[in-house]
Structure 1
Amino acid sequence: RGEWRAFFTAFHWITGPALMLIVGVPWYIFAEQATSGFLEHFIVGEHFSRFTEPTWEGDPYGAVKDMPRGSVWVFLIVASAPWSLAAGILLAVPAWRRKVLLLTGDVSRDWLVYLMCWALIPAVFFTLARNVLVTYVLPAMPAVAILCGLCLTAVLSRRVIVSGATAMVVLFGAASIVGYERYYAGHKYNQRPIIRTYHE
């Protein structure tokens, strides 16, 4: 319906990239001067080698190089829990699913497609990468939150949602802290010994 034409017509094809280069190029030059090899590591390594070389060792920090392909989808589900799990349960029950579909029927189809693309593209993009972090799915979280909100408000009352949300934040927050602490306490990429040595 002309949206793409309007987008490409309104986009500043010359001034936009020019402004980006003016702002960004000096920073890259200074970074390379201060740390030799930065450009090769950041541009080639971070943007190409991490996808094409399964054993790429360019990232000296964290456990990202150990992740199997497709891990980003697990990250997406975990990062959006418990709301993604609750929305999934609602969609799995036929009676609740009908209510959700009834509500979303009043929402613009273009808006729903936009939200779905927004929520899934980060995970799709990093599906084949083994060097991934859970933070890579953060750009999808606003869209996931809106979609989950549409599902929950179609079935549950405001009181139930607020009460459940409060309880889930406390429970999942505590579980995340304990789980993170136990997982990384003996992990081979734990940086605490380095930090402890630095402070000594």
Structure 2
Amino acid sequence: MIAEKFKSNSYVLSISVILIALFRLLLTAAIPLLDKTEARYAEIARIMQETNQWVVPQIDYGIPFWAKPPLSTWLSAFSYVIFGVNEFASRFPSFLLSILLVIIAGKMVKKSGASFYLPGFILLTMPEFLIHTGVVSTDTALEFCVAIMMISFWKTMKSDKKTYWNYLFFVALGLGLLAKGPLIMVLTFPPLFIWCCLDTRRFRELFSKFSVIIGILITALIGLPWYYFAEQQSPGFLDYFIIGEHFKRFIEPGWQGDLYGSGHSQPKGMIWLFMLGFGLPWVQIVFYKLWKNRKSIWKNDWISFLVLWLFWTPIFFTLSKNILHTYMLPVTLPIMFLMVYWWDDFESKKKLIRVALIFPIIAVIAYTVLATGIFDDKMNTDKYILEHLMEKNENKDIPLYYWKEKNYSGQFYTNGKAQLIKNATQFDSVFKLHKKIFLVTLKKTENEIPEKYRKQMVLTESNYKTAIFVTK
């Protein structure tokens, strides 16, 4: 009976989606927070929840974090209130947003006769989407807002009268301003404008089907108050965020004005390689189908809409050197919708399903190996060495300091108790207060510890990048 069911593609799709989603949910709790990005956002949310400062995010106590708006931080901080401060709580909002997109897309395609599970299967077997289904970052919230805006626009334009999708478009726009700022408009308005230009009658339909004035008010009420209060409580925020993060970051290679790290300099056009690598195997198939049907693309409203949605983001980022692979996340949805549209064209669906399952299977194997603990000292996190250090009760009362700079995972897993020593003068002050301390240092900066203090220290824990010393 079960063997017969597995002959059905629909059954395989449903089982695969459920199992992959459950596996991804398991990973939200099982994998430690990794430096720098994920641990950084988890720590910012932890400080927000602890200090009850919900307006200005802080990267450390008393130090404002101006680089990103607070939507994803709010979600993780609120999750801490419900589930406590842990990896699962920090990641669960991102997981939930991704699963909501899977459900929304499933309901959309089901009305056209496709399997409810097909969108979820395509998305959850795409490396970029699967990775970010449960990662602490601002990108999942941005992806969610972009997707809701684009879907809402399409639904509104194709309806005979005004619907709730019309208002949901402006709600998503307001939330997008809180997710990653004005970038939400940069990624959505141009493709929507170009699509309307393909048939100028759409502009007339747009103004008849959208409640523009009410919508702008909805967007303003959702998105703008935080910007006002953030600038009031932390002067200088708007200049850094609007000018620095939205212009200089993308225009200046290796932007030096970044207060929280350094620019991610890449060769121009790298976004396309990211798409090919992290969109496997679906983006290659979509590109092939688009080329094969290139003469009819612009004659089909839905296909032309998806093509503009798909290509605008990588075109926009082509000239930027400061990019990450996560910048392709918003285009995972149009890739999926295009695959669903052409799904019935493929005769060997079982072969396609098997190929798509390769990455999730690799992920399961990788987690199984990691779960043995043999690579604990190779992971980019301080969780394990700090846990080993604190296994002995006598160590729990000894103060812990970082040399030169703190790792965000170290801040998170010590609940913000880790302190910082920047120079020899501060060493003198610390030793006047404490007879015994733990000193955590990156191995690359270990030799910068003043010699008179280095002689007093004994290595007690280490991994591939970090060492912990205790004073004699």
CA contact (8 A) 1:87 1:148 kept: yes
Kept in 2, the 8 Å contact 1:64–1:131? The answer is yes
Match of 2:218 in 1: 19
User: What is the distance in 1 between the residues matched to 2:251 and 2:286?
Assistant: 35
| Contact in 1 for aligned 2:231/2:238 (Cα 8 Å) | yes
Q: Which moved more, 1:38-47 or 1:4-13?
A: 4-13
Q: Using CA pairs below 8 Å that are at least 6 residues apart, which structure has the higher relative contact order?
A: 1
Partner in structure 2 of residue 122 of structure 1: 313
Deviation per CA, 1:79-101: give whole Å up to 9, x if none. 2112224556xx4xxxxx7xx65
Show CA shifts across 1:66-123 (max 9, x none).
Answer: 22222221222222112224556xx4xxxxx7xx65xx97xx7222111111111111
- CA gap 1:157/1:169 in 2 versus in 1, 3 angstroms: same
**Residue of structure 2 aligned with 1:193, choices 407, 411, 421:** 407
Give the TM-score normalised by structure 2: 0.33
The offset of 1:30, in angstroms, is 2.0
Match of 1:161 in 2: 352
For residue 138 of structure 2, what is the aligned residue in structure 1? none
Greater percentage in helix:
1
Of residues 336, 352, 356, the one that matches 1:145 is: 336
Secondary structure (helix, strand or coil) at the match of 2:258 reads: coil
* TM-score where L is the length of structure 1: 0.69
Alpha-carbon shift at residue 63 of structure 1 (Å): 6.0
CA contact (8 A) 2:253 2:265 kept: no
Q: Percent identity?
A: 32
Q: Which moved more, 1:137-146 or 1:28-37?
A: 28-37
Q: Residues 59 and 73 (structure 1 numbering): CA distance in 2 closer, same or farther, change over 3 Å?
A: farther
Q: Which runs of 5+ in 1 are unaligned?
A: 92-96, 186-190
Aligned to 2:269: 70
Correspondence 1:167-182 to 2 at 5 A: 167-171=358-362
Tell me the equivalent position of 1:44.
Answer: 243
1:83 equivalent in alignment to 2:282? yes
Distance 1:61 1:156 in 2: 50
Q: Show the counterpart of 1:134.
A: 325
CA distances 1:130-176 after superposition (whole Å, capped 9, x unpaired): 22222221111111123345556523433223333223431367679
Which amino acid is 1:46 matched to?
E
* Counterpart in the other structure of 2:76: none
Which has the higher mean CA deviation after the structures are superposed, 50-59 or 130-139?
50-59
CA spacing shift, 1:52–1:87, aligned 2, 3 Å = closer
Between the aligned partners of 1:192 and 1:81, the Cα distance in structure 2 is 36
* SS class of match (1:69): coil
Counterpart of 2:212 in 1: which secondary structure?
Answer: coil
- How many residues are paired up? 181
| Separation of aligned partners in 2, 1:63 and 1:82 | 32
Q: Is the 8 A contact 1:119 1:143 kept in 2?
A: yes
Aligned mates of 1:147, 1:83 — CA distance in 2? 9
The one-letter code sitting in structure 2 at the alignment partner of 1:143 is P
Aligned amino acid, residue 5 of structure 1: R
Asked if residue 34 in structure 1 is aligned to residue 233 in structure 2, the reply is yes
1:94 corresponds to which residue? none
Contact 1:87–1:152 (CA under 8 A) maintained in structure 2: no
Alpha-carbon distance in structure 1 between the residues aligned to 2:286 and 2:328: 18
Structure 2, unpaired ranges of 5+:
1-198, 370-375, 381-404, 419-472
Give the superposed CA RMSD.
3.8
Alignment partner, residue 386 of structure 2: none
CA contact (8 A) 1:73 1:123 kept: yes
Show the counterpart of 1:188.
none
The letter for the 2-side match of 1:4 is F
Alpha-carbon separation, structure 2, partners of 1:33 and 1:173: 47
Partners of 1:16 and 1:78 in 2: CA distance? 38
